Structure 1
Amino acid sequence: MSITKLRTGVDEKKDKHELKQELEELEFQVFRMQENLKEIAKKWQVMGIDQTNEEKWVIVYSYDDGNLCKIMLCDCETPFQGTWDFSIQATYSDENQIHIGDIKGEENKGYGSICMDYLKEVAFEQNIQYITGDLAKRDWDHLDRLVHFYEKHNFQVDIDHKDKSGEIVWNPQYEG
Structure 2
Amino acid sequence: MAATSRWHCDRPVGASGAIQLHGVITGEDGRPVPDALIETWHSAGDDNAVAKTGLRRSGRNGTRPTCVITDQQGRYCVNMVPPQAPEHGSAPFIAVSVEARGCLDRLITRAYLPGCHLAKDSLLRRLPAEQRQALIATRDDIGLRFDITLRPAICVTAETSDEAR
In terms of fraction of residues, the more strand-rich structure is 1
Fold conserved between structures, TM > 0.5:
no
Q: TM-score, normalised by structure 2?
A: 0.33
Pick the structure with more helix per residue. 1
